[in-house]
Structure 1
Amino acid sequence: MVLIPKGLFQMGSIKSMLELRPHDLFNTDRHTLGPENPAHEVYLDDFYIDIYEVTNGAYAKYVKETGGKKPMGWNSPNFKEPKQPVVGIAWKEAVKFCEWQNKRLPTEAEWEKAARGKRSVKYPWGNTPPDSNKLNYNEDIKKTTAVGSFENGKSDYGVYDLSGNVAEWVSDWHFPEYYLFSPKKNPPGPETGKYKIIRGGSWRHNAEDVDLTYRNATTPVNRSTSIGFRCTKSLP
């Protein structure tokens, strides 16, 4: 894990509804946005976040020790190597794994701060456009890659794969206008909802959908091979 220091950062973007991608407006599976906007200032306390997405190897140990359910991703040879991120995991299963490690899922704000780093940038690595040296995206490889494979794509804090490889569960429920009234300090996300936020884009997403403010949401029981997670931990 790596320490993300306390302090202010700028969350979200200034996209307007008119600037939304056309497929966002008509995609019935996209239960979020308009808003990546408004951009707003957020203060977070210190926290730790996993440097890498949770791997099949780590999850296999959890399954063995707890009797937990095997992920659906293991049914395919494309997604079962020990160093690949675990996929086919529903939101509650991700929560239970993090709790087993005495951790938790990150809030959406924590995830974005870890990705944004110390600068005002569009991607975890900076402002240069995505390419195959920085991330796994656009179905170029057609499966997940071992975590930490893209040295050029890590964030300022040294966190890998925050764009591409797998989109990641966070703790927040989805509410489209949450950015308009979320608390400035340690926003926990809405109290209830129907969908859970996922962040970061995946190996399936195109270049438009891997910037660090990109938001999506899905049902908590979704076990897609494009969704994984990482864990965080608050300081004592």
Structure 2
Amino acid sequence: MNKFTCTIILLCSLVVSTFAQKKKSYTETIDQISFDMIYVKGGTFQMGDRKGDLVLDTGENPSLPLREVKIDGFFVGKFEVTQALWESVMGSNPSELKVGNHPVESVSWNDCEEFIKKLNTLTGKDYRLLTEAEWEYVARGGKKHEKDKSSIENISSRAWVLNNADNTHQEVGTKAPNVLGIYDLQGNVWEWVNDWYAVDSYKKTGEDNPQGVQNGKEKAYRGGSFLSDENFCRPAYRNYDLPDIKQKFLGLRIGRSL
């Protein structure tokens, strides 16, 4: 084997090794506050459902049409962003009920963008909000969703919702995780996502890593909260508000592309 061949093999090994490292779940630490990022393998899934709690006066169901969506692999926060992490990045805690390891709340979509901008400056990485499609893919269990029905059955056994949360959010990670090892995707606090909201988003966007419509008045959020009935915690259920709105039941979870 000549020197040139050895060099090529070494370079290929380094590329493979680097790619493998990029796909490995990891822990990040900011000022002694750590958070975990879980690698989610890409795949396809059927996005939306026919239940249609938000059927509008027009008769439209914003969770239709059902469609097969392709998602590339990405990282997602194992937990909702906690008050402790938010304070370590931003220097203050905006939450109405201040308890360090509970999810941060009373943050607007605009606040979340500012948090992520500062987090990226501190870490040198490119964290972001999930897309609606990524969020739903994770909530359904990713590539394992066809074998796992827990995301739509007995939600209150795994989530802090109206009938068990005593009208307040709870410490993150105190209910069972989903099949991907990710906690509190349903219940506890709603989670802002990146997409602009539109009733007919699914008719206007593609099926390959959809990013939602390109403009609008409201931003989407997902997952339900401690004030939600189980029906509103279904993976397909869509909610929305103006990007400067702050609510005691509304927080975030971060993601990161490969």
| Inter-partner Cα distance in structure 1 for 2:203 and 2:169 | 35
Tell me which amino acid in the other structure corresponds to 1:168: E
Are the structure 2 counterparts of residues 26 and 191 from structure 1 closer, same or farther at C-alpha, using a change threshold of 3 Å?
Answer: closer
Query: Cα RMSD between the aligned structures?
Result: 2.0
Measured after TM superposition, the shift of residue 8 of structure 1 is: 1.3
Match status 1:164 vs 2:184: no
SS at match of 1:137: coil
Tell me which amino acid in the other structure corresponds to 1:4: V
Measured after TM superposition, the shift of residue 92 of structure 1 is: 1.2
Are the structure 2 counterparts of residues 95 and 232 from structure 1 closer, same or farther at C-alpha, using a change threshold of 3 Å?
Answer: same
Higher relative contact order (CA 8 A, sep 6+): 1
1:16-27 map, 5 Å: 20-21=52-53, 24=54
Assess if the C-alpha contact under 8 Å between 1:173 and 1:189 holds in 2.
Answer: yes
Task: Identify the match of residue 90 of structure 1 among 108, 115, 123.
Answer: 108
Q: 2:42 — aligned with what?
A: 6
| Inter-partner Cα distance in structure 1 for 2:45 and 2:65 | 14
Report Cα offsets for 1:144-195 as digits up to 9, x if no partner.
00111101xx222111111100000000001111112311111111111000
TM-score (norm 1): 0.83
Are the structure 2 counterparts of residues 139 and 92 from structure 1 closer, same or farther at C-alpha, using a change threshold of 3 Å?
Answer: farther
Assess if the C-alpha contact under 8 Å between 2:204 and 2:213 holds in 1.
Answer: no
Gaps of 5+ in 2: 1-36, 121-126
SS at match of 1:186: coil
1:128-139 map, 5 Å: 128-131=153-156, 133-138=157-162
Report Cα offsets for 1:84-118 as digits up to 9, x if no partner.
00001010111121233330011111111111112
- Identity of matched residues, %: 32
Are the structure 2 counterparts of residues 183 and 209 from structure 1 closer, same or farther at C-alpha, using a change threshold of 3 Å?
Answer: same
Match status 1:114 vs 2:141: no
SS at match of 2:70: strand
Assess if the C-alpha contact under 8 Å between 1:53 and 1:85 holds in 2.
Answer: yes
Task: Identify the match of residue 201 of structure 2 among 152, 166, 178.
Answer: 178
Report Cα offsets for 1:47-71 as digits up to 9, x if no partner.
100010000000111122xxxx641
Q: 2:169 — aligned with what?
A: 144
Assess if the C-alpha contact under 8 Å between 1:48 and 1:232 holds in 2.
Answer: yes
Assess if the C-alpha contact under 8 Å between 2:47 and 2:67 holds in 1.
Answer: yes
| Inter-partner Cα distance in structure 1 for 2:240 and 2:226 | 17
Are the structure 2 counterparts of residues 184 and 229 from structure 1 closer, same or farther at C-alpha, using a change threshold of 3 Å?
Answer: same
| Inter-partner Cα distance in structure 1 for 2:256 and 2:170 | 25
Measured after TM superposition, the shift of residue 44 of structure 1 is: 1.3
Gaps of 5+ in 1: 28-32
Match status 1:37 vs 2:37: no
Provide runs of 4+ in structure 1 moved above 6 Å: none
Assess if the C-alpha contact under 8 Å between 1:135 and 1:164 holds in 2.
Answer: yes
Are the structure 2 counterparts of residues 57 and 70 from structure 1 closer, same or farther at C-alpha, using a change threshold of 3 Å?
Answer: closer
Q: 2:211 — aligned with what?
A: 188
Assess if the C-alpha contact under 8 Å between 2:188 and 2:225 holds in 1.
Answer: yes
